[in-house]
Copies of this chain bind each other. A is one copy, B any other.
Amino acid sequence: MLRLATAGESHGPALVGVLSGLPAGLVLDRDAIDADLARRQQGQGRSPRQRIEQDRVEVLAGLRHGRTLGTPLAIVVRNRDHENWQWGMSPWRPEGEPEGKGTKPVTLPRPGHADLAGALKYGHEDIRDVLERASARQTAITVAAGAVAKALLAHLGVAVAGAIVDEGSVEDARADRDTVGGVIEVRASGAPPGLGSYASREDRLDARLGAALMGIQAVKGVEIGDGFALAGLRGSEAHDEILPGFTRETNRAGGIEGGVSNGEEIVVRAAMKPLPTLMQPLRSVDLRSGAPGEALVERSDVSAVEALSVVAEAAVAFELARAAREKFGGDALGDFVAAHRAYLERIPWRPR
């Protein structure tokens, strides 16, 4: 029932999200949302632009004096840079602007981006029409929505946190005008057994988390629990035995068995490829002339692994909140929380 519709170009006026399915009566903290937006912008590998942006959440609907109304929440994150880009990126042609788009068309697709495929798909002649939306800039909305999801999950005692597991050497790479990738991990504690379902594939929590993480820009791999390492083990060493009190001593499954949360900590990881916009450009071919050339060079980050840890945390929080909304229902926050409590009383499981 929790749904998020998003829109927004990187240098357009704003990023927009409509988040439906929240219960009424949830109190949101603007500072907490902004703090997550700030975390997304930080990291040693980020370019100066990130510090300029200073993202702030704006709410246009669904909230009254900090409390949700049970109606769709409209969240907006302005692109402060837009004022410098109006000539080229304004939704409506500025008055007095001559023909053409006011910015030099981008015609050399960058390898590793949606540039080429997107231009062919949509028939765009200016690759800017692709890259503006395909940009990871849009993850700011993911993060804002994730902060809301975390506020909801807190009422169930669920906490979600992302962290870097492995990152390339940013300074070394910056010196070479190169980029690095890395691996991040998200852990969620307090989730009760029974989120997600094996009943249908689209209800499986592992499938949903797989989509949530693989759908983030630059992610090329996802694993749950011990993931790929499990493929090389024997069955006798790969599972989490069930001990008295329905506890476990291991958590190789990462808290999900058969597509359903099992009450243990939920652990997922995502692999990020190095950012494809390089200061020493890759070879490309001009979309218009077919002539070889070099891909667009824009000032870019050396690494966005830390940002990914924040975005992935938000994406996981959203999926857990969605599964919890489905399981516990309720239109008022109190109904939702009461159903969760009644469930915990029914089952022999206690949060640790």
Instruction: Please tell me if A214 contacts chain B, counting CB pairs below 8 Å.
Output: yes
16 further A-B contacts with Cβ under 8 Å, apart from A64-B89, A69-B124, are: A7-B20, A7-B62, A9-B61, A9-B69, A16-B18, A60-B91, A64-B101, A65-B101, A65-B102, A66-B91, A112-B239, A117-B193, A117-B260, A123-B331, A235-B275, A334-B346
Number of residues of chain A lying within 8 A (CB) of chain B = 163
A74 to chain B, nearest CB (A): 4
Instruction: Please tell me if A292 contacts chain B, counting CB pairs below 8 Å.
Output: yes
Q: A24-B124, A112-B240, A260-B117 are in contact. Are A60 and B7 (CB under 8 A)?
A: yes
Cβ-closest 5 pairs across A and B = A114-B258, A329-B329, A210-B214, A207-B215, A121-B194
Q: A283-B241, A349-B120 are in contact. Are A234 and B5 (CB under 8 A)?
A: no
Query: Residue-by-residue, is A205-227 near B (CB-CB < 8 Å gives 1, otherwise 0)?
Result: 01111111111010111111111
Q: Which residue of B lies closest to A24 (CB)?
A: B122
In the complex, the answer to whether B230 meets A200 with C-beta atoms within 8 Å is no
Instruction: Please tell me if A253 contacts chain B, counting CB pairs below 8 Å.
Output: yes
A217 to chain B, nearest CB (A): 7
Copies of this protein chain in the complex:
4
CA of A109 to CA of B234, assembled, Å: 20
Contacts of A72 in B (CB 8 A): 5-8, 199-200
Contacts of A221 in B (CB 8 A): 221-224, 227-228, 230-231
A225-275 interface with B by 8 A CB criterion: 225-228, 230-236, 238-246, 248, 253-254, 257-263, 271-275
